[in-house]
């Protein structure tokens, strides 16, 4: 913050007006090309760097966006943060990152504190009450990811179709009793996944047992694994890959083999690109969601809030090594034909991310 040259100093040095120097950076087309060149040369030489605060104060545009996540250490978020940051950078925007630690109060405070100093906010997996969210959306430019409150600008990573594909797959393998092991109860994604499992199961005569890992950590899931194994299910769909791994850790300790004894499908595809064993899961395009959010904030910069929108990106089932036929070579009942041809949610075998 010391000794940095300012526009005024540059101007003095060159014997021209500050406004000319300013224009050389912001509206070069208004200036004689040679003037622009001269200014740029001098700026470079002097090591001039524009002061964002002054610019922001003068223009009212902050040149930054805020990104608020519940827990950056949860592997779901880093790729999202990365994509948002990269895209924002392309657009000349900086990003403020804040972590709410899953605490709604902290989240609310962070939103209020950040809002005035940024062009807009991206709030991921908000744990705030719907009423509060709507309120915030009214007065701030904010894009929500994975939180579905009507009349707000929201981007949803929809895994319902892919879950149906997963269930179809499991069903084709002979599984009839499956477990859904949920995560954070306040999470939109959790509710969505849970009801996708319920609805499909009801429609196709699958029996589903419900479990919930709260908090949604490896350890909580591991602690649950015995009850899951004892429940008589032959397959489990986990809220996310961390929970899937926790379950598998518990299964391994108990001598339950995956996928021979039990099939496991995770969700979010956060770990398979860095972790062994190769987990079957549902890949979700967090990168696209992040970019859409950044784009939304950078569009029509004047407005005081974003107009309501509901944008969906669908996930896809990725089959790797943790699903297999039900063990006691039981009755591979014929399924309704449509089950063999899922209409949505493509299936693929691969490793890698598409963000």
Partner DNA sequence: GTGAAAGCGCTAACAT
Partner DNA sequence: ATGTTAGCGCTTTCAC
Give Cα separations from 100 to 104, 110, 166, 331 (angstroms): 7, 8, 32, 49
Q: Does 328 bind its own copies (CB under 8 A)?
A: no
Q: Which two tokens stand for residue 166?
A: 């997963």
Nearest distance, CB of residue 310 and its own copies, angstroms: 25
Partner in contact with 307, chosen from its own copies, DNA, none, beta carbon below 5 to 8 Å by kind:
none
Q: Which is nearer to DNA, 55 or 106 (CB)?
A: 55
Q: How far apart are the first and last CA of the chain?
A: 37
Q: Which residue has the tokens 């994975």?
A: 146
Q: Which is nearer to DNA, 37 or 333 (CB)?
A: 37
Closest of 312, 249, 297 to residue 275, by C-alpha: 249
CA distance 164 to 344: 9
What mask, x for binding DNA by CB under 7 A, covers residues 11 to 50? ----xxxxxx-xx-xxx--xxx--x------------x-x
Among residues 94, 186, 199, 231, the one that binds its own copies under rule CB under 8 A: 94
Among residues 12, 115, 220, 223, the one that binds its own copies under rule CB under 8 A: 115
Rg (CA), the chain: 25
Number of chain residues interacting with DNA (CB under 7 A)? 28
Give the three-state DSSP class for 250.
helix
Q: Does 60 bind its own copies (CB under 8 A)?
A: yes
Among residues 57, 73, 333, 349, the one that binds DNA under rule CB under 7 A: 57
- Restricted to residues 196-225, the positions that interact with its own copies (CB under 8 A) are 217-219
> What is the DSSP track for 135-148?
HHHHHS-EEEES--
| 218 class by beta-carbon count within 10 Å (0-12 exposed, 13-18 middle, 19+ buried) | middle
Q: Does 248 bind its own copies (CB under 8 A)?
A: yes
Q: Which two tokens stand for residue 39?
A: 């200014």
Q: Which residue has the tokens 């609805």?
A: 199
Q: Which is nearer to DNA, 60 or 308 (CB)?
A: 60
| Residue 223 φ/ψ, nearest 5 degrees | -65, -25
Nearest distance, CB of residue 211 and its own copies, angstroms: 17
User: Which residues, 6 or more positions from 156, have their beta carbon under 8 angstroms from its beta carbon?
Assistant: 145, 146, 148, 188, 192, 310, 311, 312, 313
**Whether 332 contacts 169, CB under 8 Å:** no
Task: Single out the segment in contact with its own copies by CB under 8 A; choices: 149-157, 171-179, 185-193, 241-249.
Answer: 241-249
Partner in contact with 6, chosen from DNA, its own copies, none, beta carbon below 5 to 8 Å by kind:
DNA
Q: Does 55 bind DNA (CB under 7 A)?
A: yes
Q: Which two tokens stand for residue 12?
A: 């003095």
Among residues 112, 135, 227, 344, the one that binds its own copies under rule CB under 8 A: 112
Work out the number of other CB atoms within 10 angstroms of the CB of residue 186: 17
Return residues touching DNA (CB under 7 A): 4, 6-8, 15-20, 22-23, 25-27, 30-32, 35, 48, 50-51, 54-55, 57-60
Return residues touching its own copies (CB under 8 A): 1-4, 49-54, 56-57, 60-62, 64, 67, 71-73, 75, 77-79, 81-82, 85-86, 89, 94-99, 101, 112-117, 119, 217-219, 242, 245-246, 248-249, 252, 271, 273-278, 304, 351-352
């Amino acid at each position: 913050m010391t000794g940095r040259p300012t526009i005024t100093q540059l101007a003095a040095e060159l014997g021209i007006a500050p406004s000319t120097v300013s224009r050389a950076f912001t509206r070069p087309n208004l200036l004689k090309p040679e003037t622009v060149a001269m200014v740029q040369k001098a700026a470079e030489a002097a090591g001039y760097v524009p002061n964002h605060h002054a610019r922001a104060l003068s223009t009212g545009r902050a040149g930054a966006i805020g990104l608020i996540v519940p827990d950056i250490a949860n592997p779901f978020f880093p790729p999202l943060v990365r994509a948002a940051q990269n895209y924002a950078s392309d657009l000349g925007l900086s990003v403020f990152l804040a972590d709410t630690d899953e605490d709604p109060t902290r989240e609310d405070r962070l939103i209020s504190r950040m809002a005035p100093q940024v062009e807009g906010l991206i709030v991921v997996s908000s744990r705030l009450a719907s009423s509060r969210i709507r309120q915030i959306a009214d007065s701030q430019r904010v894009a929500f990811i994975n939180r579905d409150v009507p009349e707000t600008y929201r981007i949803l990573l929809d895994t319902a179709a892919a879950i149906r594909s997963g269930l179809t797959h499991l069903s084709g393998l002979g599984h009839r009793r499956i477990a859904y092991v949920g995560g954070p109860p306040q999470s939109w994604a959790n509710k969505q996944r849970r009801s996708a499992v319920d609805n499909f199961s009801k429609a196709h005569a699958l029996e589903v047992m419900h479990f919930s890992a709260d908090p949604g950590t490896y350890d909580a899931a591991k602690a649950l694994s015995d009850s899951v194994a004892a429940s008589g299910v032959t397959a489990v769909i986990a809220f996310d890959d961390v929970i899937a791994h926790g379950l598998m850790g518990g299964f391994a300790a108990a001598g339950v083999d995956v996928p021979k004894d039990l099939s496991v499908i995770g969700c979010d595809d956060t770990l398979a690109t860095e972790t062994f064993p190769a987990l079957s899961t549902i890949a979700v395009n967090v990168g696209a969601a992040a970019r859409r959010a950044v784009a939304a904030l950078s569009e029509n910069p004047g407005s005081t809030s974003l107009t309501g929108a509901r944008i969906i990106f669908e996930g896809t089932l990725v089959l790797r090594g943790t699903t297999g036929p039900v063990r006691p070579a039981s009755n591979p009942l014929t399924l309704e034909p449509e089950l063999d041809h899922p209409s949505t949610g493509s299936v693929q075998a691969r490793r890698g991310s598409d963000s």
